[in-house]
Chains A and B, each alone.
Chain A
Amino acid sequence: MIKERRLIASFCFVSFLFLLLILFLPLFSFQSALYTKRSANTFVGDEKYLAVRAEIESEAAAYQEKGIETTISEQVTERTNSKGKKTSMVAFSLLSTDIRSGWQLLASPFACGRILFLCLILFGILLLFLCLGLVTAGGTAVRKFKPFHHFLLDIPIAASVLLLFCVPAFALSLNLTFGRNVTLALSQNLSESDSAALFSGLDQFLFGGIAGDKLADMLGTFSFRLNPVYWCLLAPVVITLVCTLKLRFGQIRHPFLRLLLYLTVVAFSLFILYPFFVMFITAFRSNAETTDMYFLHVLPTKWIWSNLKDTLERGVLRYLINSLLIAGGATAIAMLCGIPAAYAMARMNFRAKKAYLGFIIMSQMFSPVVLLVGISRLMNTLHLNDSLIGLMFINAAFNQAFAIWLLRGTFVSISSEMEQAACIDGCSTLSALLRILIPIASPGIVTTLIFVFINSWNEYTISTVLISTQTNRPITVGITQFSSFNMIEWQYLFAAALLATVPVVILFMLIEKHLAAGLTAGGVKG
């Protein structure tokens, strides 16, 4: 309990520290050129140079009067032109460097300012409830800690966790406003109203409203730098991770700290789902948007659902049917051969049993990739190359070891008493298998079945080698038709990929639980 209270205190303290850091440290500096003057054919020290110099100095003095500190930068480019004459160009610019800290953002119309405002509110809540909790529970002995006090102390914890997550959000939106949005607005990729709002906001925030029409020019040389301390702002993520690990170790059972466990799990899940998310959104983009150089939108501006229909019409339907046939046929063959073998291995004793078991375990390493040359020759001899039937048999054979292994595990775990009784009553071994064992073992059988199906569905390497006719391609090979050497139609590629992925992922989720149990029996991956 004391540990928990100490943790609450440290959490609140850390979040307070971060808030102070953002608010009062000079976090970011902006450099922009208020005034630029270029003068051609000017050599350092000559009359023209001095005139321009005087002009820029008077300009600087004018800004000085308005209360803006500037520095004059001078850039000389010398080169010899084609006639062998030496030319020189001098460019003067009036640079102003503005350093801002977080509290100055509060009044600005940018999103980062609003996040900071939210942080302050959260901190207020934190402080209020921390005081309330400590005052009411103050003198109470640890054992007499009432649920009410827990509740009072839970709120500051929640507020500080949220506050810590606001910090990276703040940093991100800072970058977004002063980096990305400025670039986009200058290259006229933002909508007019957006860029007008951005420009007026920037004008107020950076130059106190003096820039007016000159703002676009000033922003042309705009650069935005962050204090190195800024990187410390990403530390909350580390802190929360460490706390999660501590939580995982079971030392802290505080309900709100469990929140951190969830945050880690959510982060990891998001990471896993990321490529699938990309597949999904890209599948419904327009062709122009898949190869958009300006990276304008995260989500498709217009969801083009007809991409799915188009891919189906461009041969994908045929590939899906082929895949279905191959995977279905392979599963059927693998089960027809595998169930009897697994039955014999589980229920009967014979001399070669151990050798066969060893062979089955060993054969999990027989990868079709290493044997590709042999397989393609064999299929040539059997006249099964470029045919779906050949692929069915190959897939069945390479999944056979796994199927027997998993089925055997299931059969062994089921007591043989009922079958024995049936056999004594005169039932044949075959009907004992069909009528008694298979119905009981059906969960294990379905798991094996689905697993073999998925493996055959996802098989790619042998199909690329064996299949040469376009209409015989399975989906994994078929999707490559959308990526030719010089043009890739990403939206169709991913629409087809989506169609190929959704069914297997759903099937896999169904057997996931049984598979984990089956893996203890042998451990097999596709």
Chain B
Amino acid sequence: MNNIFVRHKWDPYLWILPSVLLMLIFVIFPIGIVFRLAFSDISRAGVVGEFIGLGNFISAVSAPVFPTVLMNTLIWVVSVVGLSTLIGFTAAMVLNQPFFGRKIARSIIVFPWAASLVIQASVWNYIIKMEYGNLNNILLNFGVIKNAINWRATYQIEFIWECAIGIIVTIPFVTFTVLSGLQSIDSSYYEAATVDGASFGQKLFNITLPLVRPSLTVSTVLNIIYVFNSFPIIYTITKGAPANKTDTMVTYLYMLAFYDQKKGPATALSVIGFLILCLASSIYMIVTMRKEEAL
């Protein structure tokens, strides 16, 4: 890079100033506020009192539902990220094959990514209703089942549905990230391997996987962050009911902050979630920066 564009030492800073200001005011400030609130006493009306140290954290963590919520969050993140990566990877492999209609297939797979999560969650909410839901309607009308099935008999099953919907809406993101990685692989590797008589498994594990690993890492780490932060699906379908049994961290803290008006513990939870995400994204940052340096 040369400095023909930089006429004055401060020029570059002037160029990035608007974006820095925007992010400072609307992203960094709220972070600061959350951190300050997490360590202060807040009345139900929202008046911020004095510094109380870790009090909020203790009351947040010692709440009886907290272990359930933490467990749910873990199940939610691991199952959604894991399975959507697996399925998305397979879908990308298929879409990387040349076949007639591939463009249409790629356009179709984009649907769950483009549509709003709250809308998709509402649709699924209708689909799995027992009394008049569309899944029962279709299965009954095609004669697969004889009587309407209660697809959401217990809250565990409802949580499984939520995870499944999470997986469906996450697949396109993985597919497209992996697909872009796959497209950058030189086909001569495969030709050479075929000449040497490599089996499909050998090609998969010795050529494809090592070469798409950077894309896969990017998509996995970003997925962890996004899935952790995903709110509309659970909020639309169960709202955490019954008794926070299907809540994840973000829905729980939303309920805590805006329904129960317990801003103190809620902000403490925000900070905990924030720290967990920091860990994930520092891994991501290291990986990306290394990749950036390699370019």
Q: Given known contacts A340-B19, A350-B12, is B1 in contact with A512 (CB within 8 Å)?
A: no
A364 near B281 (CB under 8 angstroms)?
yes
User: Interface code B1-31, partner A: CB below 8 Å = 1, 0 otherwise?
Assistant: 1111111000111011011111101110111
Residues from chain B with Cβ under 8 Å of A454 in the complex:
114
B108 near A420 (CB under 8 angstroms)?
no
Residues from chain B with Cβ under 8 Å of A333 in the complex:
22
**Residue ranges of B at the interface with A (Cβ–Cβ < 8 Å):** 1-7, 11-13, 15-16, 18-23, 25-27, 29-34, 37, 91, 93-94, 97, 99, 101, 105-120, 122-124, 126-127, 131-132, 134, 136-138, 140-144, 146, 148, 168, 173, 176-177, 179-181, 183-184, 200, 215, 218-219, 222-223, 225-226, 228-229, 231-232, 250, 253-254, 257-258, 263, 266-267, 270, 273-274, 277-278, 280-282, 284-285, 288-289, 292
A364 near B122 (CB under 8 angstroms)?
no
A343 near B15 (CB under 8 angstroms)?
yes
A275 to B177 Cα, complex, angstroms: 24
B137 near A338 (CB under 8 angstroms)?
no
B122 near A517 (CB under 8 angstroms)?
no
Residues from chain B with Cβ under 8 Å of A338 in the complex:
19
B285 near A363 (CB under 8 angstroms)?
no
B148 near A295 (CB under 8 angstroms)?
yes
Q: How far is the CB of B178 from chain A (nearest CB, A)?
A: 9
A375 to B28 Cα, complex, angstroms: 10
Contact of B116 among A367, A424, A500 (CB under 8 A): A500
Chain A residues within 8 Å of chain B by Cβ, number: 116
Q: Given known contacts A295-B137, A508-B114, is B127 in contact with A367 (CB within 8 Å)?
A: no
A400 near B19 (CB under 8 angstroms)?
yes
A369 near B126 (CB under 8 angstroms)?
no
Closest chain A residue to B42 by CB distance? A373
Residues from chain B with Cβ under 8 Å of A302 in the complex:
none
A501 near B30 (CB under 8 angstroms)?
no
Question: Which of B23, B91, B285 is the most central at the interface, judged by chain A CB atoms within 10 Å of its CB?
Answer: B23
Is there a chain B Cβ closer than 8 Å to A231's Cβ? no
Contact of A273 among B26, B37, B106, B108 (CB under 8 A): B108
A476 to B235 Cα, complex, angstroms: 13
Q: Count A-B pairs with CB separation below 8 Å.
A: 321
A423 to B2 Cα, complex, angstroms: 12
Q: Given known contacts A174-B143, A458-B115, is B13 in contact with A350 (CB within 8 Å)?
A: yes
* 5 extra interface residue pairs, beta carbon distance < 8 Å, beyond A278-B126, A460-B232: A345-B16, A349-B6, A373-B37, A458-B117, A520-B180
A378 near B119 (CB under 8 angstroms)?
no
Is there a chain B Cβ closer than 8 Å to A377's Cβ? yes
B215 near A523 (CB under 8 angstroms)?
yes
Is there a chain B Cβ closer than 8 Å to A214's Cβ? no
A356 to B20 Cα, complex, angstroms: 9
Q: Given known contacts A282-B134, A423-B4, A516-B179, is B109 in contact with A269 (CB within 8 Å)?
A: yes
B143 near A371 (CB under 8 angstroms)?
no
Q: Given known contacts A261-B99, A347-B1, A374-B29, is B22 in contact with A400 (CB within 8 Å)?
A: yes
Is there a chain B Cβ closer than 8 Å to A434's Cβ? no
